[in-house]
Amino acid sequence: MMTRIPRQLKLAIVALGLTAAAAGQARAGLVLETATAGTPATYGYSLFSNQTIGSRFHLDTTTAITQIGGNLGGSGTLFGAITALSAPDALPTGTSLTFPVLAWTVFTLSNDLTTDIFANLSVTLGPGDYALIFGTGRFGADGTGYLSFDNDDTPQSSVFFSNDTTGEYNDGGVTGVRLLVVGETPPVAVPEPSAMVSAATGVMMLGGFAWRRRRKAMTS
């Protein structure tokens, strides 16, 4: 005699399998997007000497940063760097030439603002507050750049700049710049095979018990 498995039990087993599959996948995407792309421009906020521009961002979980970028133009090379902040609304410590760095990269600019520029940067950050900063005059970067201000700010925008004379950081006055951080959160731990077998067995036992009770009720 063929035993029929109740539909509810089948769905429970399928859901258990899908949960295990999803648990092993990392989630990648934009960690920071200060503005959505607007009308391409040929000018913007300057990046030179002591004048750098950056934005704060917050992480709720450990994240592997893979790239940084933005709607940047200019000539020569710029640096992009990530620094830790003491609070969500804090500014970097030090000046544009002395702030502590967790990771940095140098990349070459172009004058094409119709597309974003991305540069590889690999660092794993724990939960907390950070800032992405672009500038020149450090790490061998010696170019002159600019950030287009014709983009549309998002709620993530928390932009600041350094004074072009002292290099000290200040808030306010910078809008419409598009700064980007790309990263992925580590995959959720996949249950051990023995645990999956135990869970599946438990589901089947409960389903079988419920099915037998239903059969008994139907024949009584």
The model's pLDDT over 131-153, given as tens digits with 9 standing for 90+, comes to 999 999 999 999 999 999 999 99
Judged against a pLDDT cut of 80, whether residue 8 lies above it is answered with no
- The domain spans of the chain are 7-20+189-219, 27-185
Which range of 20-29, 96-105, 188-197, 210-219 scores highest in mean pLDDT? It is 96-105
**End-to-end CA, the chain:** 20
Position 4 scores a pLDDT of 55
Q: Which of 67-71, 178-182, 197-201 has the lowest mean pLDDT?
A: 197-201
Mean per-residue pLDDT, 72-82: 96
**Structure token pair of residue 170:** 């200040």
- Written out in words, the top-level CATH class of the domain with range 27-185 is mainly beta
Res 36 pLDDT > 70: yes
Confidence at residue 116, expressed as pLDDT on a 0 to 100 scale: 93
Percent of the chain with pLDDT over 70: 72
Indicate whether 202 pLDDT > 90.
no
Dist. CA 166–CA 93, nearest whole Å: 13
Q: Is the pLDDT of residue 218 over 70?
A: no
Q: What is the pTM of this model?
A: 0.75
Q: What is the C-alpha to C-alpha distance for residues 20 and 157, in angstroms, rounded to an integer?
A: 36
In the predicted model, what is the mean pLDDT of residues 164-178?
A: 91
In this prediction, residues 187-207 reach a mean pLDDT of 53
